Amino acid sequence: MPPSVEADPAPDAPASAVSGYAVETRGLTKIFGSQRAVDGIDLRVPSGGVYGFLGPNGSGKTTTIRMLLGLVRPTSGDHDILGHPMPEELTAALHRVGSLIEGPAFHPHLSGRANLRRLDAADARSDARTAASRIDAALDRVGLTPAANKRFGAYSLGMKQRLAIAAALLAPRDLLVLDEPTNGLDPQGTREVRHLVSELASDGISVLVSSHLLAEIQQICTHIGVMSAGKLVAQGSIDDLRATRTARLHLGTPDPARAAAVLAKLPVSQLVSGDETVSGIPSEDLAPEDLVRALVAADVPVRRFTVDRPSLEDLYVSLTGEGFEVRS
């Protein structure tokens, strides 16, 4: 059964998020024709947390994010953003949400600052008198002050993505929603974006960040949710998800038949014998030293003995069927 760990609402959550969740969905569903792109998901992004929204391409992440932000109408289900029921309180909610979905269209021949000026001026809610300080603050927040007057076209990929995040931060935000912000970035750009997201989170902004690569965002997330074929197949804090992984015993022996017979009398399930190997899942209260003692007492020659837990990456692969992706 896939792990499903409830996220504890933070005790010191902002009053705005009544439920303790920055985002909470109930049975959120989107059907395109005959395809259930998003299938009844109960997403819970804790206030003040960084929620890694993971899943292979096509698993429904973007469609979910578009529904959260009121860009696509759900087929069924409902949700709250920062405690505001959607879509009833869409304007009040979105005022406090910065998002990066397809990314704003930046002009390559304009500087980073001039691009932000254009976007800021296009926002009917922004006060033109305070535009300059708002833009400076956003540039500073993403570390682009030194490059503010450089042409956007001359920016590195990481700088371009940081400018997109600056655009999302032109107004004060309580929640940042980033759809695949590291997609297409080189390792340096990925590090820059990751570092920025961590900094924003430490300022108290809740973050929902999607990715199809666990490795790229795992180190900055407090929680993860895993999508597979439209369903949310796992959700919880990183620590809780780690704890749900089952330990497996691996034994190397020239007599696997005898070893398997001994282990079968102990609380060890899913025994698999191979050529000079036996593996199985020992019950949680069975200590490795007791297993070794039982094997040696029955004259089983033990050449190798390990009990290990699969990595979070192994868990992700087993939940989604998604393999590793090697980035250059």
What angle, rounded to 10 degrees, do the helices at 112-122 and 157-168 form?
30
CB of residue 35 to ligand ATP, shortest distance in Å: 6
**Contact call for residues 253 and 276 (beta carbons, < 8 A):** yes
What element of type H or E holds 215? Answer: helix 214-217
Least CB distance to ligand ATP at residue 292 (A): 45
Nearer to ligand ATP, 65 or 249 (CB): 65
- The C-alpha atoms of residue 50 and residue 298 are separated, in whole angstroms, by 50
For ligand ATP, which is the closer residue by CB, 62 or 218?
62
d(CA 49, CA 46): 5
Alpha-helical regions (H) of the chain: 61-68, 90-94, 112-122, 131-141, 157-168, 187-202, 214-217, 238-243, 256-264, 288-297, 312-320
Name the packing angle between helices 187-202 and 157-168 (round to 10°): 20
Task: Yes or no: say if 263 and 280 are a contact pair by the CB < 8 Å rule.
Answer: yes
Residue 230 beta carbon to ligand ATP: minimum distance, rounded to whole angstroms = 7
**Least distance (Å) between residue 237 CB and ligand ATP:** 22
> Hey, what are 57's tokens?
């391409």
Q: Pick the closer one to ligand ATP by CB: 137 or 215.
A: 215
Q: Which helix (H) or strand (E) holds 263?
A: helix 256-264
Supply φ then ψ for residue 38, to 5 degrees: -135, 125
CB of 58 to ligand ATP, least distance (A): 4
Shortest Cβ 116–ligand ATP spacing (Å): 26
In angstroms, give the least distance from the CB of 178 to ligand ATP: 13
Residues in contact with 287: Cβ distance below 8 Å, sequence separation at least 6, in sequence order: none
Residues 199 and 142: their CA atoms lie apart, in Å, by: 9
Would you say 67 or 278 has its CB closer to ligand ATP?
Answer: 67
Distance of CA 53 to the CA centre of its chain: 3
Which of 57/130 has CB closer to ligand ATP?
57
Residues of the shown chain interacting with ligand ATP in the complex, contacts defined by CB under 6 A? 32, 35, 37, 55, 57-63, 180, 212
Consecutive H or E run containing 160: helix 157-168
Question: By C-beta, is 68 or 241 nearer to ligand ATP?
Answer: 68
**Both structure tokens of 116:** 């932000």
73 versus 265: smaller Cβ distance to ligand ATP:
73
Question: Smallest distance, Å, CB 209 to ligand ATP?
Answer: 13
Q: Is the Cβ of residue 120 or residue 180 nearer to ligand ATP in the bound state?
A: 180
Residue 116 near residue 166, CB atoms below 8 Å: yes
